[in-house]
Amino acid sequence: MQKLKPQFPIIALIKQAMVEDVGSGDITTQAIISSTQKAKAIVLAKENGIIAGLAIAREVFRQIDGKIKFISKVKDGTMVEKGEIIANLVGPARGILSGERVALNFLQRLSGIATLTNQFVKKIKGARVKILDTRKTTPGLRALEKYAVKMGGGGNHRMGLYDAILIKDNHIKIAGGIEKAVKAVRAKKADKAIEIEAKSISEVKQAIKLQVDRILLDNMNIKTLRDAVKLCIIAGIKTEASGGINLNNVGVIARCGVDSISIGALTHSAKALDISLKIN
């Protein structure tokens, strides 16, 4: 698994998920299964998709019982087909049953994001444009969900408010205009590249005049988008399309010449990939 930032509390997150699900104990499993019973299980893909989150699933079982062996049969970023075995498990039956749902919740969620991202990536094949995620992520799961986007072939926009400048419409309104907002940033964060949101050709022209580094072209129709991109190319400014983007129109948007396309749906609307755990 690609390394997450050191500050990302993966173990704490898993433990919190286990407390939420198992709480004081899995009373059904404890009533039926003895503490010495062993079991074998498979993790099975029930539909085609891109896998992401295997290391998280493995860690869930390690946290619940270190004697459980989780053996991956594929790597994150792999396309699997319906009926394909993703992993094998061997170990204490109680631990396998009690960790099943939390492990699958992570694996299904992240694999769903990777799969949806890959669908967008395939739609723009051949275009010189990058599919990016946004900050529209599940609270507490951002690092994992952005990792899943990368496993699907996409890229990450800023991780949070702390690592990149993006002047949005509400910043502009409060500042009193595009020029005032840009000047305020340059006065206090001169070392940072500036990206600014523009909703019209007029706003694009203002941003170009101020020589910003990147312009986010928000919710523009195709004609306006093409016109805006032409102006930015002449000015040597990078462009990003965003807003109202789906699998039906992403190909057309990509051919407008933008450098990147950011899509909130990658993380806020991805359907969980259907994956199950079966005892052998």
Given a contact cutoff of 8 angstroms between Cβ atoms, the answer to whether 204 and 213 are in contact is no
Query: Does 168 qualify as catalytic in the annotation?
Result: yes
Q: What is the CA radius of gyration of the chain?
A: 23
**Cβ 221 vs Cβ 246: under 8 Å:** no
Between CA 220 and CA 77 the distance in angstroms is 32
197 part of the active site: yes
Q: Which of 197, 203, 240, 259 is catalytic?
A: 197
**Which of these is catalytic: 100, 145, 218, 240?**
218
The runs of H, that is alpha helices, within the chain are: 10-22, 27-32, 54-64, 93-123, 142-151, 169-175, 178-188, 201-209, 222-235, 250-254, 265-268
Query: How far is the C-alpha of 248 from the C-alpha of 2, rounded, in Å?
Result: 31
Supply the DSSP symbol for 277. E
- Our answer to whether residue 179 is catalytic in this structure is no
205 annotated active-site:
no
Catalytic residue among 136, 158, 199, 238: 136
Q: Which of 46, 75, 82, 168 is catalytic?
A: 168
Concerning whether 3 is annotated as a catalytic residue, the answer is no
Q: Which of 40, 62, 101, 255 is catalytic?
A: 101
DSSP state at residue 279? E
- Residues annotated as catalytic (active site), given as ranges: 101, 136, 168, 197, 218
